[in-house]
Amino acid sequence: MGLDAFLPVAFIIGYLFGSVPFGLILTRLAGTQDLRSIGSGNIGATNVLRTGRKGLAAATLLLDALKGTAAVVISGYIAGPNAAMLAGLGAFLGHLFPVWLKFKGGKGVAVYIGIMLGLFWPSAVVFCLIWLATATTTRYSSLSALVAAFVTPLFLWWFGQLALAALGALLTMLLFYMHRENIKRLQAGKEGRIGEKA
């Protein structure tokens, strides 16, 4: 199989990696209530935190990030940077729209970080630092993610990573779309803060 022929395979690999709902799996194994019935109904780490299980939330964050990293690294090793980027896009879409959950998944923050870690690790560091700074000052997880996602493609562009900046911009637009209800609540002053239980 030539490198170009592998590109659609890389996307599918990424999608399958990304579609694994670790938040839902971990909370079910731990015996908590259905994650989709509390808080935002989301399957990501922030909603897992609303169960009061900080360890599960941390594990969800780590595994959701690493599934993006794994998809990128494996596909990049097999067929190079274009395959890696397509796998990253596939992983992001898989997390947002997993086939196993009727295409209703997470919002993509942890996977975004994992994808960037695999493609260009300084951008993942920048994302995390901006997220942490914003979260520390506002205690809004959604706002922190939106600010970090907005800055990351600009950082990639400034660093001369034009193809990655374009991918980052696409991921950011998707992330903003998935956070549309959060944006409305932020504007109305009704958004939940980090650590609040459902």
Q: Evaluate if residue 156 carries a pLDDT over 60.
A: yes
Q: What is the pLDDT of residue 196?
A: 60
What tokens were used for 65? 């990030």
Q: Evaluate if residue 41 carries a pLDDT over 70.
A: no
Determine the Cα angle at 170 with ends 168 and 175, to 5°: 90
Q: Evaluate if residue 64 carries a pLDDT over 80.
A: yes
Q: What is the domain partition of the chain in residue ranges?
A: 3-188
**Biggest CA pair distance of the chain:** 53
Q: The whole model's pTM is what?
A: 0.92
The whole-number average pLDDT for the span 143-164 is 97
**What are the tens digits of pLDDT across the range 3-30?**
677 889 999 999 999 999 998 888 888 8
Q: Evaluate if residue 108 carries a pLDDT over 90.
A: yes
